[in-house]
Amino acid sequence: MPLKGLFTQSAVVLLDRPASLDAVADLLGGDDAGLTRVAGDPLDGDDPGLVRHPADAYGPRLLVPFPPTHPNGEMPSADRGVAAVDVVNVPWPDGMGDPEDATDGQMALFAAWAGGQFGPGAFPDNLASAVDQAWHWPEAASVVPKHRAFLRILTTYAVGSDADEPLLPDDYSPIHELTFATFLADRFLDLPGALCYFNPTGCTVWPKELFRETIAFHQTHRVPPLPLWANVRLMKADAFLQAAGVNESGWSVMDTVGNGQLDLPDVELIVRTDKWDLNDADGLLRNLSLELLNGWPAKTGDVVPGPAPAGAVPGGGAPTEDVPWRVTMCEDGVSAPPRPTVRLIAQDGTEPPAELLRVRHPRRDG
């Protein structure tokens, strides 16, 4: 799906009941908040058999102007940017639709995904992936399926702009936009029936209490709340390697997904899970993402220090100090969705199977 274009950032609140735009507007201060109400767009095209999908982004919505100031300082392009907010009274469509089926909304759903209406850079099955990898919130598997509607936030600079203006202004700042979208989601988590925050591009789900605790923690430490925006995932490769005829086990891929929202590559580790502490690996992924955000010019051939293998003890034969990790800049990651990554492989005497590195999508469930 397009990463940045008509829409630049997204955030979603999953709801267990329908909500009205009036209730949404009230949480922002009502008519005094400078909101614009848009009734909805007519169906484009002349094909009377083409049926709109109820989850496309062409229905009634609120336009929330970017604020002139922001927790990080002055808001770039505040005069052009808006957040389009709509409420969709059907469950999140995790499937992509069908470009050949024009009669039940499936073609329109496919077009909506292709147009970034479910989040720039978001791909189908992202909600299932978010639940599957919600290590911080085990209850997600029972709570998320209860949703019956969702509130969607999409930031854009296209409203009221001239046709010859670029979709992204020169002073575009992804972290300012994403922080603003997150601020709006925080407000909307107070809607009746709000179940959780969902970041479609970063494949994360967070209940309100943990969401707000995470924001407070990161504000205290003056770092952006990357865990809200980008997930860290674990994908075991045993089943894939066995199917490929490779008689090796214990290999996994750990990666981030969602760094593209900040115009950064994701980070992936190719690791043996029987050799490394996964909490340490998680920390390495987060720390390197922050380094990228702070301007680290990563390049193939770089070597970065990482944690020692699990069980390393003095005199035990295993290294007790940081192990070097070799960097390779990749146009595509090992696991879905397709996007550029900074790949790291530990220089610990092991080498991952070539079959694993050649294939982008090992099974999530290993």
Q: What does the pLDDT read at residue 53?
A: 77
- Rounded to the nearest 5 degrees, what angle is found at the Cα of 289, between the Cα atoms of 286 and 292? 155
The pLDDT tens digits for 161-193 are: 666 777 888 888 899 999 999 999 999 999 999
Burial of 328 (0-12, 13-18, 19+ CB in 10 A): middle
Instruction: Take residue 122 and report the two structure tokens written for it.
Output: 């978001």
Instruction: Take residue 316 and report the two structure tokens written for it.
Output: 């035990």
Residues 6+ apart with CB under 8 A from 208: 189, 194, 196, 197
DSSP state of 338: P
Q: Is the peptide bond before 314 cis (omega within 30 degrees of 0)?
A: no
Instruction: Take residue 322 and report the two structure tokens written for it.
Output: 């940081």
**Nearest partner of 255 among 236, 277, 280, 234, judged by Cα:** 234
Q: What does the pLDDT read at residue 108?
A: 87
| Cα-to-chain-centroid distance, residue 121 | 8
Partners of residue 205 on adjacent β-strands: 198
CB 40 within 8 A of CB 58: yes
CB 276 within 8 A of CB 344: no
d(CA 283, CA 306): 9
The pTM of this model reads: 0.90
Across the chain, how many H-helices and E-strands are there? Answer: 10, 15
Q: What does the pLDDT read at residue 7?
A: 92
Q: What does the pLDDT read at residue 359?
A: 55
Q: What does the pLDDT read at residue 269?
A: 95
Q: What does the pLDDT read at residue 255?
A: 97
- Rounded to the nearest 5 degrees, what angle is found at the Cα of 267, between the Cα atoms of 261 and 272? 150
Q: How many CB atoms lie within 10 A of CB 360?
A: 13
Q: What does the pLDDT read at residue 44?
A: 47
pLDDT, tens digit only, all 366 positions of the chain = 557 888 999 999 999 999 999 999 999 998 777 899 988 765 444 444 556 678 887 788 999 998 876 555 666 666 778 999 999 999 999 988 888 887 778 888 898 898 899 999 999 999 999 999 999 999 999 999 999 999 999 999 988 766 677 788 888 889 999 999 999 999 999 999 999 999 999 999 999 999 999 999 999 999 999 999 999 999 998 888 888 888 888 899 999 999 999 999 999 999 888 888 888 889 999 999 999 999 999 999 999 988 766 654 444 444 445 789 999 999 999 888 999 999 999 988 889 999 888 755 543 433
Q: How many CB atoms lie within 10 A of CB 222?
A: 6
Q: What does the pLDDT read at residue 288?
A: 96
The helix (H) or strand (E) run that includes residue 278 is helix 278-293
Q: What does the pLDDT read at residue 76?
A: 62
